[in-house]
Amino acid sequence: MTMRTESRITIASNVREVWAYICDVGRWPEWAPTVLECWVRGGGPLQPGSQVEQRAKDLWWTHGRSQQVTVVEAPRYVAFAGPMGSSRARWAMELEPVDDGQTAAEMWIEIDLAGIMRAFPSRVLKGRVQRVSDREMAAIKTALESATRVGAES
């Protein structure tokens, strides 16, 4: 069984600024609540086949996890695949320019439920994933719009 969530938000920053922020994996801990530290294995930019390594905290334990970059279509689309608990997951960020230099951003997550994760009621699990991704999108918006305001005030 595959579960999918989608989160959308409009950000008062242009697509290139949003793209740069999303692709700066060292800044993921600013917006992703489970990510404590993040880097591209071997350095370099995000590109298909790159491994994004994380030190993460889920529930009460800290652990390493790895996601593979599957698609990069700068500055509009980036996608990843990797484990989520006992399941395989994919997620992506899609960006589209809108009026007045803003960006419509969508994050989608697909999880192929397996192992212990199949024991959770799907609506409960989907609700939790949705809340986390909505929180992440709000944090991205806040970070980018705060940076835009600070830049405009300088």
Q: What does the alpha-carbon distance between residue 125 and residue 86 come to, in Å, rounded to a whole number?
A: 13
Q: Was domain 2-23+70-153 assigned CATH 3.30.530.20?
A: yes
| Res. 100: pLDDT tops 80 | yes
User: H or E element: which one contains 55?
Assistant: strand 51-58
Write the pLDDT tens digit of every residue in 5-59: 999 999 999 999 999 999 999 999 999 999 999 999 999 999 999 999 999 987 6
pTM here is 0.89
Q: pLDDT tens digits, residue range 141-153?
A: 999 999 765 555 5
Cβ-defined contacts of 32-37 (< 8 Å, 24+): 32/136, 32/139, 33/132, 33/135, 33/136, 34/58, 34/132, 36/62
Q: Domain coordinates of the chain in residue numbers?
A: 2-23+70-153
pLDDT tens digits, 69-93:
999 999 999 999 998 877 899 999 9
Omega prior to 75 cis, within 30 of 0 = yes
pLDDT at 102: 97
pLDDT given at position 152: 53
